[in-house]
Amino acid sequence: MIRSLLIANRGEIALRILRTARERGIRVVTVFSPPDRNALHVRLADSAHPLPGSSPSESYLRGDLLLEIARETGAEAIHPGYGFLAENADFARAVEEAGRIFIGPGPEAILKMGDKIAARRAAEEAGVPTIPGADAELDPEVLLGRAEEIGFPVLLKAAAGGGGKGIRRVDRAEDFREALKLATDEAGGAFGDGRVYLEKFLVKPRHVEVQVLADNHGNTIALGERECSVQRRHQKLVEESPSPAIDEDTRERMCEAAVRLAAAVDYRGAGTVEFMFSEGEFYFLEMNTRLQVEHAITEERFGVDLVFEQIRVASGLEIRPPSRPRGHAIEVRINAEDPDTFFPSLGTVERLASPGGPGVRFDSALFRGLEVGPWYDSMLAKVITWAPTRDEAIAKMRRALEELRITGVRTSVPAALRALDSEAFRAGDYDTSLLDDLPRAFERRDFDLAALAAALASHRRLLGSGEKGLEDGTARGRPTPWMLGRGPWEGGEGL
C-alpha cells in the first residue's frame, strides 16, 4: 500500500483526499498558493509547501514544482484530484518517469479520451453508441452534406473543448458555412486547437453518466449511473443517483457499454463515461479520466470510498466487488455566484453554518474568513443527501439547504431550490433545459458595471497585466474561470 501521498490540488477535493489518506495511515503532503495559505488542507496536512503565485499557471499547474516537492518530501504518489493537472497526460507521464505513482489512469488513456474525436472513434470501435455526426478532418462541404443528411439542427463542437465551451448550434443549411468558420476561430482562440466536429442536436436530452473502476489485473466494473441534467451554462448544479429516467434494461446496457469502453482503452482507476439520453436511446458523449465532482452520491449508494479505491488500484491491488446499491442520493453544488445570473460573486465568508443530521453529508473546505477571489473555480462546497426513497432524499436536501448559512458572498443555493421545488424535477421528467425554463427572482438583471470594473481591476492586479491571466487560466490555456464560469477544477467535464 502507498505510504505517503502528495495532493496536487486545493479546496474541497484536497481535503476530501486528505481525510481518506489520514484514516488509512498514509502520510499527507499538500501544496498551497498565497491565497490558500490558511486553507484547511494546509492546516491538517503532515507537511504543507508553498507555491509561488496566485494564478493557476503560477501554482497548481506547475508540474515541475509539484514533482520537486514530491522528491524533497519523499512522497511515493501524487493524487491530482479533479481539474488542474488531473487530465494532463504529460504530467502523468512525468510523474511516472520521476519514479512516482500517478493516482489515475495511464497517460495513453488520458491522451486518447481527452481528445473528443479520438474518444468518439474509440467508442465506435468498442461498439458503444455515438451521436450521429462527423469528424473534424472532413472538408467543410462534406461536413455540410453530412449535416443535411442527419438533419438540422446540428451542433458544431470544439475537439479540444469541454465544460460546455466551444459549442455552436446551427439551425439552417444556409448558416452552416459561416457558423463553421466562427466555431473554428473560437476553438482556436479558446483552446489552441481549431478542430471542430459535427453532432446531431438531440431533442430534450438528459445527461447521464456511469462510474467505472478498473485495476491492473483485467477487472473493470460499473458502479451505477448518475443523472446530471440540472445545469446552468452547461455546468452541473444538481446530480442524483439513480437516474429517474433510466429503466433496468437501459441501465444494464449503459453500464455494460461503459465497462466495454474502459476496457478497450486499457483504463485503470476511477473514471466516468458520460452519455446523452434522448427519446429512449443513449449516446456516448465523453469520458472523464479522473474522479468526478459528484462521486459522493455513488459512494453513498454503494457504500464505497472511491478515493481509497483509487489508492488501492494505484498500489497494485485488485478492485473489490461493491455492495449492492441502496436508496437514493442527491448532490447540490454550492457555488459563489449570483443565483439568477450565475455571475461569480467575490468576497469573504463572514458567517458559516453547515447542515447536518442523518443522511446529510457536507463536503467543504469552508471556514470563516475564507477569501473567495477570482483565482479559482467558484465551487465552495457540496451538500449530499441519502434516503431510502427519492422523495425522502429531496425533502432531506431541501431541509439541508435551508440550514446552510453562508454570508459574505452570494451562492447558487436559491437556484438549486428552484430546481428541487419544480414540478418537473419532482416528477423526474426533466432535461438539461430545466433551469432555463424556470422563472427567476429577476427575469432581467442589469449588471453593476462599477462592481464589474472593480473586479476586472482586481483580477489584473492579482494575475498580472493584460492578457496573461486570460490565457493562463487553466492547463489548456482556457480563459480564467471567474470570467466565464469555467474552472480548472472541472477539467474536461461538461458539468
CA distance linking residue 457 with residue 447, whole number of Å: 16
Tracing cell 436511446 back to the chain, one arrives at: 281
Element housing 335 (H / E): strand 328-335
**What is the C-alpha to C-alpha distance for residues 319 and 308, in angstroms, rounded to an integer?**
10
> What is the rounded CA–CA span in Å between residue 352 and residue 405?
5
User: What is residue 2's DSSP assignment?
Assistant: -
Residues 59/41, Cβ–Cβ less than 8 Å? no
Q: Which helix (H) or strand (E) holds 64?
A: helix 63-73
List Cα–Cα distances, 85 to 7, 90, 104, 321, in angstroms: 11, 9, 11, 29
Question: Nearest to residue 45, comparing CAs of 101, 7, 81?
Answer: 7
Element (H, E) at 273: strand 269-278
The secondary structure of residue 468, as a DSSP letter, is H
Q: According to the 3-state scheme, what is the secondary structure of 107-174?
A: HHHHHHHHCHHHHHHHHHHCCCCECCEECCCCCHHHHHHHHHHHCCCEEEEECCCCCCCCEEEECCHH
- Give strand pairing partners of 31: 49
Pick the catalytic residue from 290, 333, 410, 476: 290
> Taking Cα atoms as reference points, which of 296, 334, 328 lies closest to residue 415?
334
User: β-strands 371-372, 167-170: how paired?
Assistant: unpaired
The DSSP call for residue 44 is S
Cα angle 93, 94, 99; round to 5: 100
436 vs 165: CA distance, rounded Å: 17
Residues 6+ apart with CB under 8 A from 175: none
Does the active-site annotation cover 268? no
Residues assigned a catalytic role: 290
